[in-house]
């Protein structure tokens, strides 16, 4: 096998039949990583540890004792804690910081014999839509290296797209799984808020943040979700809802006549690339032809999503990032004569421009004179957006939209225009405001041969439905 298969079932078949070993598999991925260093995907590469672990798992396979994820080589976004490894969050503030514990998701991966190959690049503290905000430099899109891979989980998406690993864990606050998946031509799942433990995920906006999964197909994502989902005593926001056998259910099909699908008119208005609009509408027509009940619906508060999202997440970021002060851990400025200077200089030097922009915005909307005018009002609008989805899901089972308004843009094209950058989240951020699950599935390519995705949203905890509908849309 000169190149690893792009799905776990084929890899497992090769392992059990003796056509390849985990050690050989890791070596192939390491070669792919080293051959594509110019993409700037990895911040930390666990070369020796991955090979050592691969040898141990090969022995388990021989003994018939291997876990569900034996043969799955996985990259991890560098905002998730891996014991004794750097946890940089793509920031100068934590560029030399090493963590002393594993995130819950990492513990669960290791318990099922996954191999973690390294930590991947991301926008600083997960703030960005292009992966250009990293202290370690921008990640390039494997589809077209002159373009961004999306953000903030751009390194995760690029690592899967470039065949540097089979699967990747990322995180998202307003679309940072789905948008890069769309830009890089792969599948990205954002689960229901609370479905996956956030213990060990560095917080950006705690009531929005979710760990998510990148992969090439729904079955691989289903197996990984089955392993990492579920209640965690160390995360008070994790859900007690039982975890289904996603890996079995994802292979089942729907009776189309029993499934109602909606598409919101608000997602197909001005600003949407015409190639994406046509591609998504073609998929909607495909579902209609298969016998699904398809109707137009309305999500009337969609026009307030971006304002509401950026007010609330910036406020939470302002609070969460106050811990990075140069006193307890991380970067500390050496150009200070007083304690106050040290605080100011550390945060001025340690944070990048986008992070500082959001901290300042968040501090502003939380200040005494503006709290009611901005933060409190945004919370009320969030409730209205949640109501929109609750009302819609009384009429339909799934809602379909474009994932992004455009395909991957050129590196540097929008970095000086924050508003234009923020509008990349226009179709995804509402999902995080509502706390529902959503998936981005490859949909087609535009006139420049760049990939784009179709987004499917569902009721809370219906990840099974999202994984099953993948089969209907990939044709």
Residues annotated catalytic, as ranges: 77, 152, 176
Round to whole Å and give the CA distance between 75 and 275.
32
Round to whole Å and give the CA distance between 41 and 388.
38
The DSSP element (H or E) to which 277 belongs, if any, is: helix 274-289
Compute how many other C-beta atoms are within 10 angstroms of the C-beta atom of residue 447: 9
The owner of tokens 């003994």 is 63
Peptide bond into 117 cis (omega under 30): no
Q: Where are the alpha helices (DSSP H) in 321-461?
A: 339-350, 353-366, 377-392, 418-422, 429-434
Round to whole Å and give the CA distance between 465 and 239.
18
Round to whole Å and give the CA distance between 188 and 225.
12
Contact 61, 93 (CB under 8 A): no
Round to whole Å and give the CA distance between 122 and 72.
22
Round to whole Å and give the CA distance between 168 and 72.
10
Furthest CA-CA distance within the chain: 72
CA-based angle 200:431:224, to the nearest 5? 45
Round to whole Å and give the CA distance between 355 and 321.
9
What are residue 215's DSSP bridge partners? Answer: 187
Round to whole Å and give the CA distance between 459 and 464.
11
Round to whole Å and give the CA distance between 359 and 355.
6
Question: In terms of Cα–Cα distance, which of 337, 312, 338, 343 is closest to 435?
Answer: 312
Round to whole Å and give the CA distance between 440 and 425.
13
Compute how many other C-beta atoms are within 10 angstroms of the C-beta atom of residue 151: 33
The owner of tokens 């915005």 is 361
């Amino acid at each position: 096998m000169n190149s690893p298969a792009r799905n776990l079932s084929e890899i497992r078949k090769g392992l059990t039949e003796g056509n390849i070993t985990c050690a050989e598999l890791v070596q192939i991925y390491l070669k792919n990583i080293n051959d594509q260093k110019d993409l700037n995907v990895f911040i930390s590469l666990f070369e020796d540890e991955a090979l050592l672990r691969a040898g141990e798992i090969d022995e388990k396979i021989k003994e018939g004792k291997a876990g569900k994820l034996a043969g799955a080589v996985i990259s991890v976004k560098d905002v998730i804690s891996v014991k004794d490894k750097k946890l940089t969050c793509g920031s100068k503030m934590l560029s030399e910081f090493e963590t002393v514990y594993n995130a819950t998701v990492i513990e669960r991966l290791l318990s099922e014999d996954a191999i973690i190959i390294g930590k991947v690049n991301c926008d600083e503290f997960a703030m960005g839509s292009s992966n250009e905000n990293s202290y370690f430099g921008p990640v390039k899109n494997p589809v077209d290296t002159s373009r961004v891979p999306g953000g903030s989980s751009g390194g995760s998406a690029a690592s899967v797209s470039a065949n540097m690993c089979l699967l990747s864990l990322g995180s998202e606050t307003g679309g940072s799984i789905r948008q890069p998946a769309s830009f890089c031509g792969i599948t990205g799942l954002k689960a229901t808020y609370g479905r996956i433990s956030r213990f060990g995920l560095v917080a950006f906006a705690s009531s929005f943040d979710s760990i998510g999964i990148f992969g090439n197909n729904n079955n691989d994502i289903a197996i990984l979700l089955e392993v990492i989902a579920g209640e965690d005593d160390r995360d008070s926001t994790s859900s007690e809802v039982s975890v289904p056998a996603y890996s079995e259910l994802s292979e089942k099909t729907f009776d189309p006549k029993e499934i109602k699908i909606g598409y919101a008119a608000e997602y197909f208005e001005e600003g949407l690339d015409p190639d994406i609009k046509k591609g998504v509408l073609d998929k909607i027509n495909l579902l209609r032809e298969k016998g699904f009940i398809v109707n137009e619906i309305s999500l009337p508060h969609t026009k307030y999503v971006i304002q509401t999202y950026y007010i609330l997440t910036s406020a939470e970021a302002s609070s969460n990032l106050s811990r990075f002060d140069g006193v307890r851990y991380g970067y500390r400025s050496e150009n200070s004569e007083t304690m106050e200077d040290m605080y100011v200089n550390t945060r001025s030097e340690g944070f990048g421009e986008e992070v500082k922009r959001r901290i300042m915005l968040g501090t502003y909307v939380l200040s005494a004179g503006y709290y009611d005018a901005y933060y409190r009002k945004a919370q009320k609008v969030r409730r209205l957006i949640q109501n929109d989805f609750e009302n819609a899901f009384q009429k339909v089972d799934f809602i379909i939209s474009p994932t992004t308004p455009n395909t991957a843009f050129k590196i540097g094209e929008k970095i000086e225009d924050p508003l234009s950058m923020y509008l990349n989240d226009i179709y995804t951020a509402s999902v995080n405001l509502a706390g529902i699950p959503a998936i981005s599935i490859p949909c087609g390519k535009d006139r420049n041969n760049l990939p784009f995705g179709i987004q499917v949203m569902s009721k809370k905890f219906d990840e099974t439905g999202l994984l099953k509908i993948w089969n209907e849309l990939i044709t």
